[in-house]
Structure 1
Amino acid sequence: MVEGGMKCVKYLIFFFNFIFVISGIALVTLGAVIKGYYNKYLDFLGDGVVGAPILLIIVGVVIFFVAFMGCCGAIRESYCMTMTFAVLLALIFILELAAGITAYVLRDDIRTTLNTNMQATMQNYGKDDYDGVTKTWDGVQMEADCCGAFNYTEWADVEYGKSGDVPDSCCINSVEGCGAGVLLMSPEQAATVVHTRGCVPVMLGVVHDNWVWLTVAAAVLVAVEIVGILLGCCLARSYKYTGYSNVSV
């Protein structure tokens, strides 16, 4: 009966390790997709936000290898390997918990970072030595249908807008020269030519949506990890007290 129960736990370990493998691959994929998206806006988001998907990729790779160790421990019925699997899983759980708490505490910094970086990079828009900044701004304004950090009139405060122009990427119908003289128009006239809402709120919404996906993925993974830790400890204990601890590692 004890042997049957141990086999049941063993099969559950296999099942959960299969889930871990899938989870690891999913985390690596999700992290890569989000990182690829964030990289386009590196000038705005800063290293802190962009580092989150990198951490996700690392965790996914580690989970994949930990799951492999768990499978090996169950196959060889090794107390040492199975216990190592449970301990490593517990360490991953603690690291994820610490990362989650840190992200929650620093969540308000994202708005400050976006505001600061966008205001600063606007000053360099269109300059010869800042092609990357110009492309980033054009990409954001065209994709998000926005203009300026919080309002299209902010372009009047930077060198590019001194003549009354805004970038063509602000235009509702983006064609060459469409942003010329927009700052000299009335707000009503400008609204027919360019997108008047700012890009900071739009970017915050994008980051928030991505963090929601990260949070959901982390919550599901943590729940699976807790079960995996308990099963790993249970199986290792069974090996230890039924003589399997003598099996070679």
Structure 2
Amino acid sequence: MAGVSKCMKYSMFIFNFFFWVCGCIILGASIWIRFKGTQQEVESGVSAGANLLIAVGAIIMVIGFLGCCGAAKESRCMLMLFFIALLLILILQITGGVLGAVYKPQVEEAFALTLNASLNVLQDTSGKYEVSQEAFQKFEREEKCCGLRDGPKDWGENFNKPSLKICQCELEKPSPDLCVQYQNGYIYKKSCGEVIIQQIKDNLVIIMGIAFGLAVVEILGLVFSMSLYCQIGRK
């Protein structure tokens, strides 16, 4: 009877132990973020990201636990469950990538609709979205942009309020590349929609790199788990 490779067994155990620890950290941090906020924060869309991280952390913990116990106890059942769970995640990653490429025009259209819906927030004069308007003004100053699509027109009547300094260039010598003359002053030339789209494109490269790296790790996990599964069967 062939024995079980100790090197493969302990390597898989250590790898999945750190995998499990990462899941614990993600789960704990996301739960803390989710429940430490005020009621206003909980009701906002900020909590959606925390809920997603809670699910991700829990899944990572379960998979890491199955891998650790399967390797330590030489349990074929746990190793098979680990293999199936990891294979499903890999399939979901590939499916998500394919769907993202196929439905790219629809995604861009949905993003455009989101921008249109956000215009109502900028043009609101009731004070209901005052916090969101202030946050967007801060984004404009940081990114040196104005409005979402059509510059100052996106702000509607709010642009002419004396208490607000919307889109105004804060440079001592306004550059033609960054600023343009409008009414009695200078405003930022670029729309924030262009900035957001560029940021998405830049981050997409990073996301693709991370996804590719995870896919390589997952494939290695599939190979090692199945090899260990077969060795235990021949033991």
> Do they fold alike, i.e. is TM over 0.5?
yes
1:127-146 pair list within 5 angstroms: 127-146=126-145
Question: Does the Cα contact within 8 Å between 1:148 and 1:155 map onto a contact in 2?
Answer: yes
Question: Is the alpha carbon distance of 1:117 and 1:166 closer, same or farther for their aligned partners in structure 2, counting shifts above 3 Å?
Answer: farther
Identity, in percent, stands at 26
Question: Hey, what's the Cα distance between the residues in 2 that align with 1:22 and 1:97?
Answer: 26
2:12 aligns to what?
Answer: 13
1:43 aligns to what?
Answer: none
Q: CA deviation at 1:78?
A: 1.0
Q: 1:223 and 2:223 equivalent?
A: no
Q: CA deviation at 1:109?
A: 3.7
1:199 aligns to what?
Answer: 192
1:102-141 pair list within 5 angstroms: 102-104=99-101, 105-106=103-104, 107-109=107-109, 111-124=111-124, 126-141=125-140
Q: CA deviation at 1:84?
A: 1.2
Question: Is the alpha carbon distance of 1:201 and 1:189 closer, same or farther for their aligned partners in structure 2, counting shifts above 3 Å?
Answer: closer
Q: CA deviation at 1:228?
A: 0.4
Question: For the aligned residues, what is the CA RMSD?
Answer: 3.7
2:170 aligns to what?
Answer: 173
Question: Is the alpha carbon distance of 1:214 and 1:23 closer, same or farther for their aligned partners in structure 2, counting shifts above 3 Å?
Answer: farther
2:90 aligns to what?
Answer: 93
Question: Does the Cα contact within 8 Å between 2:137 and 2:166 map onto a contact in 1?
Answer: yes
Question: Hey, what's the Cα distance between the residues in 2 that align with 1:221 and 1:57?
Answer: 19
TM-score norm. by structure 1 comes to 0.67
With 68-77 and 131-140 compared, the bigger mean Cα shift is at 131-140
Q: 1:211 and 2:204 equivalent?
A: yes
Unaligned runs of 5+ in 1: 37-46, 175-186, 243-249
Q: Residue type matched to 1:81 in 2?
A: M
2:175 aligns to what?
Answer: none
Question: Does the Cα contact within 8 Å between 2:14 and 2:68 map onto a contact in 1?
Answer: no
Q: Residue type matched to 1:122 in 2?
A: L
Question: Hey, what's the Cα distance between the residues in 2 that align with 1:101 and 1:57?
Answer: 25
Unaligned runs of 5+ in 2: 35-44, 172-179
Q: Residue type matched to 1:128 in 2?
A: G
Question: Is the alpha carbon distance of 1:155 and 1:227 closer, same or farther for their aligned partners in structure 2, counting shifts above 3 Å?
Answer: closer
Question: Does the Cα contact within 8 Å between 1:70 and 1:85 map onto a contact in 2?
Answer: yes
SS at the partner of 1:58? Answer: helix
Aligned residues: 211
Question: Hey, what's the Cα distance between the residues in 1 that align with 2:81 and 2:154?
Answer: 58
Q: Residue type matched to 2:5 in 1?
A: M
Question: Does the Cα contact within 8 Å between 1:151 and 1:196 map onto a contact in 2?
Answer: no
Q: Residue type matched to 1:230 in 2?
A: V
Q: Residue type matched to 1:121 in 2?
A: V
Q: CA deviation at 1:18?
A: 4.8
SS at the partner of 1:127? Answer: coil
Question: Hey, what's the Cα distance between the residues in 2 that align with 1:71 and 1:13?
Answer: 7
With 141-150 and 51-60 compared, the bigger mean Cα shift is at 51-60
